[in-house]
Amino acid sequence: MSDERTGASDRRKAEGPGAVKQPRGAEGAIQKVGVIGAGVMGAGIAAHCANAGVPVVLLDIVPGGAAKAVQTMLRADPAPFMHKGAARLITAGDIGTDLALLGDCDWIVEAIVEKPEPKRELYAKLEAVRKAGSIISSNTSTIPLGDLVAGASAGFAADFLITHFFNPPRYMRLLEVVQGPATRADAVASITEFCDRRLGKTVIPCKDRPGFIANRIGGMWMQSAINNAFTMGLSVEEADALMSRPIGVPKTGVFGLLDLVGIDLMPHVAASMKATLPADDAYVQGLREHALITRLIKEGRTGRKGGKGGFYTRKRDAAGVQQKLAIDLASGEDRPEKKARLESLELRDLAKLAEHPDRGGRYMRAVLLDLLSYAASLVPEIADSVADVDAAMRLGYNWKWGPFELIDKVGAAWLAAALRADGRAVPKLLEQVGTGSFYRVQDGVLQFFGTDGAFHDVPRAPGVLLLADVKRRSKPLAKNAGASIWDIGDGVACLEFHSKMNALDPDILGMIGKALGMGKKGTFRALVIHNEAENFSVGANLGLALFAANIAAWGEIEGMIEQGQKAMLGLRNAPFPVVGAPSGMALGGGCEVLLHCTAVQAHAESYIGLVEVGVGLIPGWGGCATMLRRWTDNPKAPKGPMPAVAKAFEMISTAQVAKSAFEAQEMLLLRPTDGITMNRDRLLADAKARALAMVETHNVPEAPKPMRLPGASGHAALNMAVQQQVLMGRATPHDVVVCDQLGIALTGGKKDHTDEITDEEVMKLERQSFMALLKTPGTLARVEHMLETGRPLRN
């Protein structure tokens, strides 16, 4: 085993930059975590607790298995660790010899084989080593809590609950929590607070029923979608096209999802649910064994993890060209994948799609009736409210809409009528809502329909501030097609981007200028830049630049670059605090917005980088200048004019992207003083608090001192390094052109190394190099390729 019983000083080193400070209060009661079982889930839970800066003991039944799991996670992609330093917080050991290491853990998570007997045997052993009052939980996905604590002492039952994480634990925001009749209320409160604030989870209380919420409803959806695809003669492509965008499900659909999670998982889930659900349950009654699926499992074609493919397979043809194949559900033979073409797929109205007479419409109707009637029949059996059910499905299965939100889209009356037309029972809750809806907005507050027949406010955890709630109850201070400014209270405004993918365009840049002007006039005391879209901003609107370049409107493009630079400098020099609050991707121009904010409060899952070289360009809104400045001023970096240039050149020329906010701090894309929020729902409140804390002490920043850059000699050195990459086959001729212009901007152009240069002068070089590259043959083709495919052109 590895022995890393770190002291406080060592722990701070392991936590890395931006580490979450140990809080006081309910969540602060958990200072150390134990995880038993180093499989995919157990190891992932351990890694994520370490991401939060918490020491973890990870034990496995296989000798050396836990240590091996940690090393495997350090190489994994997507990475379970938010930064590699977090791995040093994990002490790995074996269940057989190191169970005593759990003695000082405040929370012990069991994640071993999904069978009650081995779990109960382990719990009996834990009784002898755990400290009094420590909380024990199981990560079971199907076994009722009552079965797990059968025969346990009263003290153990009081400390026990179920904490069901979803895979992968770092990325999936749902945590289902089940408490038993004997579980201590303060134990539930401690776990809820810790997992919310420290692990970033939305904690949903569930009833002690098989499959809890998400897997119970998700299992029915998958079962119905598969059964009906076979019986109605749909192709896997047609089924996945219908079971994705139209109902707000990720593009994998259902067969693609099975390939992703493992086809062999299906029989295990089905067996567990059949063993624990009553025989008359709709899920049990719909169980079918499909010969094709049985054959695939027997052949080892269990999806992506098996390497042999599943419903979809990638193979190379005789010419060595890779093909994507799809299996024919009728014949069981692989054939080239083909795009689904159904008239029903052209419809955007879900109810109309489900009424379309083609097989796509009939299929959609059948699945919706199964899924939505089942969900409506399970409240309050599995959860207290429809809001909890919808949240569980959105966060646990990445659905855009939960089942009750889907009912509102098709209409509760439509669903009830369709069920009656098929001779099926209408669930009581659906009868209760009648011709109404499950959600409404009343006096600016979102409400849900309860089992008591009344509407109730959708609850928010204490300290949560959502922009969506602000928008329901107020009107923007200013708005155009690309952005809006909202009053979020206490003299703080929020600038929201809302263009397609939040790509920055003249409307957004203009609204930045508008916000700066309003702040200078005293309309508000501080500004937060934030939105609740999937991504903060994917960068500049390249489509506009491509259109202007194709008609040789170079002046328009240069004007947009100047407008962007003016906006960024305005943010940097604002007489009031400007706090960037990103989540998701902040790339290219989106990254440059953050680089020029007074401070940043980032969601931990922020992916930040200057990626312009992917389309044959370089940052043009101050990204080069700011990265030069940060590496020049970094006290840990070597001194002299070249080290900062080399570091910025390496990052920008290879389009490096930080895969977490912690990594962004290591790369200086975020400052060491910038904050990190683990729970996305708390991001806006944290950013607002940060902005308010800066109001009294904020002054207009002084102009940064000029930098000494290496000039022509440094530029030549960078070009030599790029030529070496060409000789090794790692760079293309076009890369040479791009890197040459990047080198000019970063080294100060033709200035001698004894000359000093200001940030504004570097930005002028950025603008000149950007325009030179845009006019370079081949660049527009790269921009167009990126817009069409989402991938850079490599040649």
Q: What ranges in 135-213 are assigned the alpha helix state H?
A: 145-148, 154-158, 185-193
Tally the residues of the chain.
795
C-alpha 620: how far from its chain's center? 28
- Rg from Cα positions in the chain: 28
- Judge residue 595's burial from the number of C-beta atoms within 10 Å of its C-beta, 0-12 exposed, 13-18 middle, 19 or more buried: buried
Residue 500 CA to chain centroid, in angstroms? 18
What is the phi/psi pair of residue 91, to 5°?
-100, 115
Domain residue limits, the chain = 2-206, 214-441, 467-611+657-695, 711-789
DSSP E strands in 101-173: the ranges are 107-110, 135-138, 160-165
Report residues of the chain scoring pLDDT below 50: 1-25
Please name the helix (run of DSSP H) or strand (run of DSSP E) that holds residue 763, with its range, or none.
helix 759-774
Give me the pLDDT at residue 751, please.
67
Separation between Cα atoms, residue 142 and residue 216, nearest integer Å: 9
- Cβ pair 180, 146 in contact under 8 A: yes
Residue 211 region by backbone torsions, left for phi larger than 0, else alpha for psi between -120 and 50, else beta: left
Nearest by Cα to 466 from 454, 455, 474: 474
Of 631, 650, 516, 539, give the one whose Cα is nearest residue 594.
539
Positions of E strands within 519-654: 526-529, 578-580, 584-587, 599-603, 606-609
Mean pLDDT of the chain: 93
pLDDT tens string 297-356: 999 999 987 788 999 999 887 777 889 999 999 999 999 999 999 999 999 999 999 999
CA distance 217 to 561: 50
For residues 328 and 259, give the distance between their C-alpha atoms in angstroms, rounded to a whole number.
15
* pLDDT on residue 1: 35
Q: Would you give the DSSP letter of residue 542? A: H
Contacts with 501 (C-beta within 8 Å, 6 or more apart), sequence order: 533, 535, 537, 538
The CATH number corresponding to 214-441 among 3.40.50.720, 1.10.1040.50, 3.10.20.740, 1.20.58.1610 equals 1.10.1040.50
Strand order in the sheet with 312-316: 312-316, 322-327, 334-336
| Burial class of residue 41 in the structure, from the number of CB atoms within 10 Å of its CB (0-12 exposed, 13-18 middle, 19+ buried) | buried
CA distance 512 to 506: 10
Q: Which CATH number applies to 467-611+657-695? A: 3.90.226.10
> What CATH number labels 2-206?
3.40.50.720
Say whether the peptide bond before residue 246 is cis (omega within 30 degrees of 0).
no
Angle ∠(276,277,283) on CA atoms, nearest 5: 130
How does strand 483-487 pair with strand 492-497?
A: antiparallel
Within 13 A of 313's CA, how many CA atoms are on the CB side? 22
Instruction: Give me the torsion for CA of 608, 613, 618, 624, rounded to 10°.
Output: 40
Q: pLDDT at position 24, please?
A: 42
Residue 435 carries which side chain, given as an amino acid letter?
Answer: T
Q: How far is CA 542 from the centre of its chain?
A: 24
User: Which of 661, 532, 531, 536 shows the shortest CA–CA distance to 601?
Assistant: 661
Predicted pLDDT of residue 756: 86
Q: What is the pLDDT of residues 112-146, one digit of tens each?
A: 999 999 999 999 999 999 999 999 999 998 888 99
Single out the residue of 33, 394, 452 nearest to residue 214, CA to CA: 394
- At residue 19's C-alpha, the angle toward residues 17 and 20, to 5°, is 160
Cα(92)–Cα(87) distance, rounded to whole angstroms?
A: 10
Which single residue is written with the structure tokens 């060209």? Answer: 321
Nearest Cα neighbor of 427 from 468, 478, 472, 386 is: 386
Pairing of strands 439-442, 334-336: unpaired
Q: Give which of 695, 757, 790, 663 is closest to 170, Cα–Cα.
A: 663
Token match 């405004």: residue? 493
DSSP helix/strand/coil, 91: strand
> Going by DSSP bridges, is the β-strand pair 174-179/202-205 parallel, antiparallel, or unpaired?
parallel
Alpha-carbon distance 238 to 613, whole Å? 37
- Give SS3 for 630: helix
